[in-house]
Amino acid sequence: MLIKGANVYCDGKFIRKDIAVSGEIFTVYSNDDIVKDYSDAYIIPGLTDIHFHGAMGKDLCDGTKESIEAICEYEAQNGVTQVIPATMTLADEELERIFKAIGEYDGTKGAEFIGVHMEGPYISKDKIGAQNPKYLAMPSLEHFDKYQKLSNNRIKKITIAPEVDGAKEFIKERADEVVISVGHTDCDYDTALEAFDLGARSVTHLFNALNDIKHRSPGVCGAAFDSPEVMVELITDGVHIHPSVIRMIYAMFGDDRVILISDSMMATGLSDGKYSLGGQDVYVKGKKATLESGTIAGSASNLFDCIRYAYSIGVPFESLVKSAAVNSAKEAGIYDKYGSIRVGKYANFVVVDKDLNIIDVYIRGKKIGGVNENN
């Protein structure tokens, strides 16, 4: 397939050029007769969402192939071609069932299922957010290894509060195996900095379920800023973070270190109403999802909607693509095959118009249409 006339995202900027796809990958040239003319459209790498819970009334923690597949299909329709959904803080027997289902999942519909983000139970009761405090646990290598084995080694990222007993030892021992992210934590600057020195390399949804940054106590945000190797997740759904702070974070960290996430829950793609997250009731009105207490409980926006919102408040589209496609693939350890439009990589890409409306989505060189229908 030869794709002509589009503005293609390459190395942080858009260049008008032709690209070729042969089978599943980008190639130097095409030897078939299929020509797609996307004149004046924009082609970007398929997005990778490394932190979300569900969509279309389904949640990863349903622990079923049907739910995972439905989520993957929805994400693909919305430009997310690789997914790393997140678990919640739940009872051991529930987590065992969920990770077993994750390990057995072999679906091929919709977005590619790369692995999971284990969000809890090794977090702080003081920054619990929408997690369930009833099922908190201390970090344990044996405990984690059990879930990793059940998941068939699909745990790619784990959120941990570094002040919790056993956390520092856990970070030191498992930092080479999974991405360890500081989050749901009440820790101060020095404790966060120590966690980063031990091997933590990410911050879970910056500013949410963390201490605020202050001029004499910069907290996790300050420690992350002072640690050049650390990436920060950012939810840009128009609810979690004020527009000024979003622009500020891009000015502070640059677009090399920000990873856009949706943190979407099962209401995403559906109407307002009562839903569930981690076994707790969630009430959705517009973009806002909250527990009965008023605590924000994930988002009701997909990752491409988060891009649109951030673009509307002044963040350059090029920076947003880098944050949602390039940086996320790098952190997930899949950038050798995903996250950019380069010869030899999988042909996962999204075609959009100048108003950021999605025209087409391709996964492994096949156009996704309708309900994951190749055409």
Q: State the helix-helix crossing angle for 92-104 and 141-150, rounded to 10 degrees.
A: 40
Q: Which helix (H) or strand (E) holds 283?
A: strand 280-285
- CB burial readout 331-343, b (16+ within 10 A) else e: bbebbebbbbbee
The Cα 262–Cα 120 span in angstroms is: 18
Query: Is 130 annotated to bind ligand?
Result: yes
Residue 297 assigned ligand-binding role: yes
Give 78-97 as a DSSP string: TTEEEE--B--S--HHHHHH
Does 242 appear as a known binding residue? no
Those residues whose C-beta lies under 8 Å from the C-beta of residue 278, and which sit 6 or more positions away, are 61, 88, 89, 90, 130, 131, 132
Select which of 49, 62, 237, 263 is catalytic: 263
Separation between Cα atoms, residue 29 and residue 169, nearest integer Å: 51
Report whether 119 belongs to an annotated binding site: yes
- Tokens linked to 319: 């920076």
- Active-site residue flag, 263: yes
Is 216 assigned to a binding site?
yes
The Cα-based distances of 103 to 65, 92, 135, 176, 278 in angstroms read 10, 16, 22, 21, 20
Separation CA 79–CA 100 (nearest Å)? 28
Residue 209 is labelled as binding a ligand: yes
CA 295 to CA 132: how far, in whole Å?
Answer: 12
Please tell me whether 298 is known to bind a ligand. yes
* CA–CA separation, 182 and 164 (whole Å): 11
184 is in an annotated binding site: yes
Distance (Å) of CA 189 to CA 91, 185, 222, 256, 292? 31, 11, 7, 22, 32
**Structure tokens belonging to residue 130:** 């929408």
Spell out the alpha helix ranges (H) of 199-263. Answer: 219-225, 243-253
Please name the residue ranges forming H helices in 10-120. Answer: 65-77, 92-104
Which residues are catalytic, by number?
A: 263
- Residue list for the binding site for substrate: 130, 208-209, 216, 240, 296-298
- Residue list for the binding site for Zn(2+): 119, 184, 205
- Residue list for the binding site: 119, 130, 184, 205, 208-209, 216, 240, 296-298
